[in-house]
A and B are shown apart, each in its own frame.
Chain A
């Protein structure tokens, strides 16, 4: 019976590691279980880290849980014999080893991945104009709202948040093969901009302006997901993201311009302060609190 339990514990690393490897290398039935194929250089780096740390983890899992299973196998049967357990309280050398080696691995990991983080989140792309280097202007301003996405393309002046912005809802079309900067803002609560294929995620916090950048190498139709709970409709807060060639993109933008009259309005931008809110008539106030309740269901 003790052998049975030992096998049970041995199965943990065996099945665990086997399934992780199957997912990682696309073996049926887990061929589509891991992440979708990366679309960008920065995404590839993240994948390498993702797979690399998982392999390291698999190695440690094998080492530790195999030892547990093996200990059960070897020492589990001594229950009825007269043999006594070994009286060992500690082993300083062993303990120093298993402190120092993992410490080194962790410190290495810590420093090793800093570059990828900087590439994704800190080194915002710059352009050099007349010898002066400035941040690259965002091509699109993304306004997240309950429960959808508004996209404001920069228009002819190349600057977002101006009169000639082109507004599109729940569809983002972008040229592939170019470095693109997006500006993220929220109209109401926190949302999060997640594109699995780009290995890109950024929470969008009301009151803050965020920037993300990427360079997709392929033309492809994918999706943007919201990954921060934003209310009852959170599950349906998706948008399509199409990467197309530069030519197709230019044609598409022209179409949008024609379709969308340039009367860019700040759709809703109420800015009542607490004082103003108090000045509201009471029936209105109760309407306000009713609409607060409606958010839930």
Chain B
């Protein structure tokens, strides 16, 4: 790799006036860091859209059919501001869709994967910079489809993020837009994952062996493999559903199905086939939504414990086995679906097994903390929060993986509790921690610690207030606009109101983060190259790194976790430093 000087930070060969330079640098960027930031900003914007939808869902559950503030009167003037039940279905469908496909996956793989992989392996960019640019721009047709779907008569897809046929096949046009959007997201992820795999395999700096890679890169690597194997199945299933809707094929429709007294189909298809195909992708996808976060959390915890990551190799092996097992557990979403009941037993055993590597990771994080010289900075607090919340999510996972118990809790609020503990309380806390940690590298300035800690404290309290009580609602079905129609659920109203109030608090708390983020971007104290005294390669270059990343070719001499090595004076030992 040739030496790259800072002047080259504008793409080589791009001349012309300021506007065209801006467009080529920031819009049609091929620099992995700019693409990473593009993913970061679009995901954060969608995060707020998804959050609003969630608050509307909570509003309905706490004060059913009452006037929805602000939006109610805009959308439902004729009914005096109260939402319709169909609108409620749209809300939770679009909430989940946006949070999963537009926020967590793109922010983990797209933003942090793009930003960190080349820096951490010591490469000047991704293996295929143009493919990388395409992978971002393929998100936009998806954004467009989803935005358009909000203007359809039914205000958006409303068959749930799982989109089970036959219901989804008989939805309005918003469902077709939803399917198209998912196809585009899939293409984008696919291009990203091929790029990540190639970069990690081919472009590591001299001396960077696979077992000297930081856990972040390992997390991204395994995630990319899972995406590459699982996405084709999802894409096929989405196109099949689309053709069921548009071409009347009937892949997922049985004979003689009657909807609204008179619609019939050619039939001959299998309703459960969709569920198998969907979960064959979507179970791996739930790990796609957490393995990169686990990687980043491992790096951050080790750095702020000033201590090597406990059991680095077992950590690598456990994420590898999570990836492997992740492909044979999809049936745990289908225990009650009518799938062969004997088959449920084998899915139960594999699901129990997948809890094991997850547990090992938790023990290793605790092992890292133990005996450390802990620095409880904001990113560290978020990461410790991640670990303790992941314990809760993993444990409720074990509870549900027992099929007899799942008879009761399947499709109830218990599931909602589980998935928010793993996705919000774990993945999102991990992402926030990672933003606080790498912000200095991305923007060259430090974020405000005090605001960060307040942000953590309030988020942590409110998220538990919102999601923990959901564990007690295993008799309240999810996706129900008005649970109080059931006599047996009427007494749950106060609990639901409590959760909604906490959710609103949690939403407001995020404004502190927004203020901190933009405030620090312009007014934060300047960060040097290595404000946290960390070991990995990205901290050896300037902040923010120039196009081409490193001023000298990094030569890697050791693993990423040599903190407090007894033979060094300082308590860190960068990967490139000669001993």
> B501 CB to closest chain A CB, in angstroms?
16
In the assembled complex, A277 has its CB within 8 A of some CB on chain B: yes
User: How far does the alpha carbon of A295 sit from the alpha carbon of B261 in the complex, in Å?
Assistant: 11
Interface segment out of the listed B31-39, B81-89, B98-106, B231-239: B81-89
Residues A194 and B477 in contact in the complex (CB < 8 Å), given A53-B399, A238-B485: yes
Contact residues in B for A208 (Cβ distance below 8 Å): 254, 271-272, 338
Q: 1/0 per residue A111-153: CB within 8 Å of B? A: 0011011001110000000000000000000000010000000
> A40 CB to closest chain B CB, in angstroms?
12
Structural contact, B257 and A229, CB atoms closer than 8 A: no
Q: 1/0 per residue A196-220: CB within 8 Å of B? A: 1001111111111010000000000
In the assembled complex, B25 has its CB within 8 A of some CB on chain A: no
B524-559 residues at the A interface, CB under 8 angstroms: none
Structural contact, A87 and B373, CB atoms closer than 8 A: no
Q: 1/0 per residue A231-263: CB within 8 Å of B? A: 111111010000000000000000000000000
Nearest CB in chain B to that of A90: its residue = B311
Structural contact, B85 and A229, CB atoms closer than 8 A: no
User: How far does the alpha carbon of A187 sit from the alpha carbon of B170 in the complex, in Å?
Assistant: 14
In the assembled complex, B396 has its CB within 8 A of some CB on chain A: yes
Contact residues in B for A30 (Cβ distance below 8 Å): 472
Structural contact, A232 and B86, CB atoms closer than 8 A: yes
In the assembled complex, B133 has its CB within 8 A of some CB on chain A: no
- Interface extent on A, as a size class? 35 or more
Contact of A57 among B167, B371, B399, B483 (CB under 8 A): B399
Contact residues in A for B342 (Cβ distance below 8 Å): 122
Contact of A296 among B158, B258, B337, B483 (CB under 8 A): B158
> A79 CB to closest chain B CB, in angstroms?
5
Interface segment out of the listed A97-105, A154-162, A173-181: A97-105
Structural contact, B384 and A68, CB atoms closer than 8 A: yes
Structural contact, B408 and A122, CB atoms closer than 8 A: no
Interface segment out of the listed B140-148, B281-289, B357-365: B357-365
User: How far does the alpha carbon of A5 sit from the alpha carbon of B267 in the complex, in Å?
Assistant: 59
User: How far does the alpha carbon of A57 sit from the alpha carbon of B421 in the complex, in Å?
Assistant: 15
Structural contact, B481 and A235, CB atoms closer than 8 A: yes
Q: 1/0 per residue B311-326: CB within 8 Å of A? A: 1111000000000000
Nearest CB in chain A to that of B264: its residue = A272
Structural contact, A269 and B166, CB atoms closer than 8 A: no
Q: 1/0 per residue B386-409: CB within 8 Å of A? A: 011001100110110011110110
Question: Residues of A with Cβ closer than 8 Å to B?
Answer: 1-2, 5, 8-9, 12, 15-16, 19-20, 23, 30, 32-36, 45-46, 49-50, 53-54, 57, 60-61, 64-65, 67-68, 71-72, 75-76, 78-79, 81, 83-91, 94-95, 98-99, 102-103, 106-107, 109-110, 113-114, 116-117, 120-122, 146, 187-190, 192, 194, 196, 199-208, 210, 222-223, 225-236, 238, 268-277, 288, 291-297
Given known contacts A110-B352, A192-B336, A201-B407, what 13 new A-B pairs fall within 8 Å (CB)?
A5-B384, A9-B388, A12-B388, A53-B405, A75-B305, A90-B311, A109-B352, A114-B345, A117-B345, A199-B407, A202-B338, A207-B257, A231-B86
Q: Can you report 16 residue pairs joining A to B where beta carbons are below 8 Å apart? A: A12-B464, A19-B472, A49-B405, A60-B395, A75-B372, A84-B566, A87-B307, A90-B310, A114-B345, A117-B403, A202-B338, A228-B164, A238-B486, A291-B262, A295-B172, A296-B153
